[in-house]
Amino acid sequence: MHRIFFLLFFSTSLCANANNVSDAINRVYQGYTTSIESKAILNTLEAGMPYNSSVDNARVVAFKCWFLESDTAQKRNTVKSFLVYAKQVINESGSETLYQSLNVCEASQLYVQGLYTQAIAQLTPIARLELTAERGNSELNSIIGLANKILSRVHVAQGQYKLAFDSAQKSYQAYELAANPYERALSLREIAGVHLALYNYDLAIKQLQRAKSELVTFNVQEHYKVTDEIAYAYERKGDADKAIELYLSIFDDVRKFEDDDGFAYLVIKVAELYTHLSELDKAKQYFHQAEQLVIKSDWIKQLHAMARAEWFLATDNIVAALRENEVLAQLDHRTWPLSFTERYLQFAVILAQHQGDFQQQANSQKQLLTILNNKVNTIADRALLSQRLMFNLNQQDKEITRLEEVAAIKEELLSVAVAKSFWQRLTSAFAFALLLLLAVYTYRQVHHKKRFKLLALKDELTGIANRRAILDIKKIAISNSKASGRPSSLISIDIDHFKAVNDEYGHDIGDELIKSIVNTLSHSVRSSDKVGRVGGEEFLIVLEQQSLQHALDVAQRIRHSIEQQIHTQKKIKATVSMGVVEVNATETPEEAAKRADLNLYEAKKSGRNTIVA
């Protein structure tokens, strides 16, 4: 309901304030809207054209480009006509960044159409631009990040995995500098895609799980999309049970946001996996569910026919399997992905064997063998490249073994050289042992000193900075701000009604709530921002060289995220109150912190679950 209210409020207020054009588009780019909401925003923005500002008109057409599809000839012609019109509008605005944004979108359309060479030519000049940490360059950094993200996909499609990995990494770095945690998390998915293509399933899953945790505060669609990708990685890895568990976990969300084609894909996936696990009755239930859907996509229909054919074969219903095979055999196999062709040929071999058609069986096996031979070479090539992209444990072990062998030879030669002097050898050994013991003792002392120093700066319960550490961080950040002339901001946070939680549920649940809140705080800020526990249920966030407006945006995101979540095993709802300040150039760190605490006090007085700045 609150999303509907937002759309109604937005559509009525946009006309009153042209600045909302930029604000609304940025809200989409920062991941706070679903696809339905994003399209509604685009429709409202288009209805308001032309605006008084030529830049706003340019923003809208550059934004619209990302909603266009080019999967048919008619749609591709529509895209071409639109791009001509869009370039004219953007040229009239004189905005170089919006022109670059449109170029990236056009390259994305070329990529979707399989025109990889043209896409690379258009993306490369933008992707190679130098990233900058200077304030005010976040828009340029975002465009560089977007260009590298699309370029990474093109390189994966061409099998250029090293280039794809480098582009995905630069995309991540660009969004880090642009302070856009949403797009930064999406870049992790691109990196995972490269690992998946290189058969590094564990690394792909690790990157996707990291992306999932970073996307938790954004729109729900990103959550189920990345969960779907994790499930697919487990499927490729051979863990069908885990893949099914993950696919089933997103059924409700996919049904809510996707059309019948999108939901059918998920249902067919689960049916297919149950068939491969020989759990045929369960597979049958999901096939029945798929049959209740209106499937329009030709590709989904092919997936459905293939999965049903495999199920009929597994249940020894050869007549039905032959019927599905006749449907598949009439299709244009040249358009199939290689993995789907391999799957069909495996089915065809078994079906021909059941029929006693040994000629057909031999032909299918011959085609399948060609694919498998090429696949073996591909796996070998990609595994070789994979070793260049990460530290390979087997290679490390071999290197260690080689060094140990060299050391053993040297030791033997040394023993021969000093064999005539027993006492000299004994003295050397004793001195060496003494030095070794001294080195170990010194190392342990230094290690323990560093460890205790680190522990002295960490909060024991949450692992974030403790009071002493966060106050030191605050002083350093404010000092750096004064030197650079860029303001820093502070957010003082207090958990509302925390004493009541302790009184009702006990201190163990209170500790769980604190850790849950801290997890949200840590995932809501940049890596350069610092979160600390001042004491009890009070926290401080130091946003170095960030304005008051940015701090308010962060605070509002934190407040909304905590309010929406369910905390602890007791399913507790919680809220926080916050005081936000931008540090003045003339005040001390203590004075700034006092102002933040006063604002926090005012937030508490005004009813809690509130932000005062």
pLDDT higher than threshold 50 for residue 302: yes
The per-residue pLDDT for range 333-378, each reduced to its tens digit, is: 777 777 788 888 888 888 888 888 778 777 877 777 776 666 555 5
> Biggest alpha carbon distance in the chain?
98
pLDDT higher than threshold 50 for residue 32: yes
pLDDT category at 330 given cuts 50, 70, 90 is confident
DSSP 565: S
Range of weakest confidence among 21-30, 172-181, 394-403:
394-403
Average pLDDT for 99-121: 90
Verdict on whether the full-model pTM lies above 0.75: no
Residue 371 CB coordination number (10 Å): 15
Residue count of the chain, please give it. Answer: 613
pLDDT category at 196 given cuts 50, 70, 90 is confident
Residue 531, φ and ψ in degrees, nearest 5 = -115, 135
Amino acid found at 574: A
Range of weakest confidence among 188-192, 196-200, 268-272:
196-200
Amino acid found at 230: I
- Is the model more confident about 417 or about 280? 280
Average pLDDT for 161-170: 87
pLDDT higher than threshold 60 for residue 498: yes
Residue 534, φ and ψ in degrees, nearest 5 = -80, -30
Q: In what order do the strands lie in the sheet with 576-582?
A: 530-535, 538-543, 489-495, 576-582, 611-612
pLDDT of residue 452: 46
The per-residue pLDDT for range 111-161, each reduced to its tens digit, is: 888 889 999 999 999 999 988 877 667 888 889 999 999 999 999 888 888
Using alpha carbons, list the distances in angstroms from residue 32 to 3, 97, 245, 399, 547.
11, 23, 27, 49, 21
Using DSSP, state whether 549 is helix, strand or coil. helix
Nearest by Cα to 533 from 427, 429, 586, 458: 458
Whether residue 221 contacts residue 34, with contact meaning beta carbons closer than 8 Å, is answered with yes
Average pLDDT for 582-595: 89
Average pLDDT for 294-317: 89
Q: What residues form DSSP beta bridges with 531?
A: 541
pLDDT higher than threshold 90 for residue 578: yes
Whether residue 161 contacts residue 191, with contact meaning beta carbons closer than 8 Å, is answered with no
Range of weakest confidence among 186-200, 303-317, 544-558:
186-200
How far is it, in rounded angstroms, from Cα 171 to Cα 150? 9
pLDDT higher than threshold 80 for residue 379: no
> Which CATH superfamily includes the segment(s) 467-612?
Reverse transcriptase/Diguanylate cyclase domain (3.30.70.270)
CA 588 to chain centre: 39
